[in-house]
Structure 1
Amino acid sequence: MSIWWSLQLRREAASVPLARRLLSGAMETAGVEEDISHELCVALSEACSNAVRHGGDRSQVYRVTASIYGDMCRIEVTDCGPGFPAGGVIPRVERPRELLLGGRGLSLIEALCDRVRFGNQPGSGGAVVTFDKILKWREDAALLRAS
């Protein structure tokens, strides 16, 4: 069995907890272990926060797509901003003072997930953050019974 959903959200701070609650509800209903669900929700919050903050002036929306296939969850967050720097080099925060001002989100996503890709939309620009996480299931997991 698989689950797939996609959201188009306004680039407003209030959209971040909405996306997180929807993901958390899907994980709970499917029977994903709480720790794994929490890590995915934190990663999603960071990716959505970046889309809200850096999504550019061309669009007031961003998109979140999530899917579960077997034991893998894939989440993709796409915005219409300037995208990542050419060459795929992601700027990293190095000075402690900068940590207080932000800049930890991409590193946090990398730490919480099994595979992470940062890229740009072809042609139109805009950042694409895709991350995968191997799922662990509760004993009463709905998807395990339906497989």
Structure 2
Amino acid sequence: MNLNRRKLLSWFGLGWLASLLPSSLIGCSEANTPTASAPTSTSAPESVAAAPSGNFKEIGTVAQLDKDGALVSSDKKIAVVRNPNDATKVLAVNATCTHKGCTVAWKSANKEFVCPCHDAKFAADGAVRQGPADKPLQRYAAKIENGQVLVSA
């Protein structure tokens, strides 16, 4: 077989393209799509019925929630407030700002979470009210049971 330079370079080019094909296909596979564990939609919070039973953990008491206006988990990752639209229900969100990761604080006067780092504002259900954050806070199923506030996270 007589190979000239042009034919040799053609074979190298073809081999190079063939070596890129598997990585291109992997990048397009469903295995690399985001998981459902981090919802980012701005729709209504998920219902307690949608949460798996038995996975709720106690965050605090209803009395403490009513006294302080909000409950924060011991690890400072979950914040719970009364639902402004229905005071018999509670809303739970991840207290970590989606902009730079600071811990948001509940401001009961405005009924919103505020990031102390860059002043991003979030509604009680985690929806973005004011940037620089552009993604809502992650929501969790929450309920009141026997005077305790329980969250499925």
Give the TM bin, normalised by the shorter chain.
under 0.3
Greater strand share, structure number: 2
Higher RCO, 1 or 2 (CA under 8 Å, sep at least 6)?
1
Please identify which structure carries the higher helix content.
Answer: 1
With the length of structure 2 as denominator, give the TM-score of the two structures.
Answer: 0.25
